[in-house]
Amino acid sequence: MRFPTPTISLTLLCCVPALPAAAKTLYVPSSHYPTIQSAVNAAASGDTVLVAAKPTPYAESVRIHTDGIVLQGKNNPVLDGSTVTTGPDPIFPGVQDGPSGIIVEASHVAVRGFTVQNFSRNEQYDGNPEGFPAAGIRLGGDTDANGNPLPVVVHDVEVSGCVSQNNYFGYLIGSLANAGDPAQYRIFANLATRNLTHGFLVYSGNTALTGNRSLQNAQQGAGNGDGITTGFDNGVVITGNETAGNVNGISVFADFTAAQQPPTYITFNNVHDNQQDGIIPNNGVSAIGATGSITVSGNVISGNSIGIDLSYGISHSTISYNTVTNNTGQNQGSFSGIGIDAGYGDTCTVANNVVTGSAADGIYVDDFVSSTFSNNQVNNNGGSLGYGFDGYGFDVTAVSGATSATADTFIRNTAHGNNTYDAYDANGKATLNTWTQNSFGPNNVPNNGR
């Protein structure tokens, strides 16, 4: 079976340019550079700051202002923010440094091989004592006291081989003020764990997150903490990651503007045992002018409350070749225990998915129109009822006020062994939806149009 493969531009994969001939290495700790920040301040474009591990952590917040440098850890040095205090920023008056662990405010920068922990307080700004929540590693510019972005442009940054733990955010990639900038961030082979809220929070398009792990975040306990989440940007590639033990596994909230947006890909991830939803892809609906497709493909999604949640609004997107198993929704109340919740969207393709072992419905279709459901295998769902659903393979709701599932096509699907009905269309046989060439078991409502 072949899966669609996202295309990532070469500019995204080649974030850091070749070093010039005069490049040098600055060693930390040393007599010249006892702290990481002292070496970073002395580095020129093309230089490498090589930081060795030591018996005690580095108690400092590091801010990178110089383009084209590499911050390289040796034997996994640790930055600890437990005792770090803020101080005046050397570049921007009125901004206090820290207490994020590593702050990148320059382009063509690489950060590799660090553990960053215990940066959980807010950054302080003049006139804004609450500041901005800290992160283990933060990429992108500050804002001033009024929340306006400072005049710094950050692009072409790599972060790899790092651990961010016990911080407010694990990795904060871009900022809400600069959302939409073509930042070209490459984030790979990192771990985010036990942070207070999100493991990876992305506010910039043209970002690739590959081969990362985001585990047991949301330690704040307020229901706010996803493994990977994006805010109002398109063109993000999320592939080959593992998310587990968070509130939601992966949530994408894309740009809703009518301007044409690049596609977003969520592919080949292992998303399991999160408290609520496995994957939430959201780019709005056609009625509000949403553009920029989302592809959710080749993921393994298990042990969540809902496997793939399409109820936040999605259009012109593809949900395909996912394995969605044993999403039981334990202790989550109604609207839980569903494999794929097609609750609000239009003009989508849901195809070639395997959906089994859901506590309630396999595929639930509500306010979802003009879409195609094809070649899905939806078997043995509805084993634990009591979540507000009936244990159907396909559960298609009737037209009721603003809520309807109409003009949908169900073709070449298989549904067997589901608890109540293998397929149920409350709208009646072939009146509002099209059912053809499906293979369903004997437990079906006669008017489902199969």
Classified as helix, coil or strand, 109 is strand
pLDDT of residue 124: 45
- Report, as an integer, the average pLDDT of 261-276: 93
Which tokens is 87 given? 């101080």
For the chain, domain boundaries: 26-448
pLDDT of residue 134: 83
Q: How confident is the model at residue 86 (pLDDT cuts 50, 70, 90)?
A: low
Burial bucket for residue 31 (CB in 10 Å: 0-12, 13-18, 19+): exposed
Asked whether residue 13 carries a pLDDT value surpassing 50, the answer given is: no
Q: Among all chains, which residue has been given the structure tokens 């709005």?
A: 284
Q: How confident is the model at residue 12 (pLDDT cuts 50, 70, 90)?
A: very low
Asked whether residue 125 carries a pLDDT value surpassing 60, the answer given is: no
Which tokens is 12 given? 């995204």
The tens digit of pLDDT for each residue in 377-406 reads: 999 998 776 556 678 999 998 665 445 678
Q: Whole-model pTM?
A: 0.89
Taking CA 324 as the corner, what is the angle to CA 196 and CA 340, rounded to the nearest 5 degrees?
85
Asked whether residue 305 carries a pLDDT value surpassing 80, the answer given is: yes
Q: How confident is the model at residue 160 (pLDDT cuts 50, 70, 90)?
A: very high
What is the secondary structure of 207-230 as a DSSP string?
EEEES-EEES--TT-SS---SEEE
- Report, as an integer, the average pLDDT of 94-121: 86
pLDDT of residue 150: 59
Burial 46-74, CB ≥16 within 10 A → b, else e: bbbbbbeeeeebbebbbbbbbbbbbbbbe
Q: Return the CATH architecture of domain 26-448.
A: 3 Solenoid (2.160)
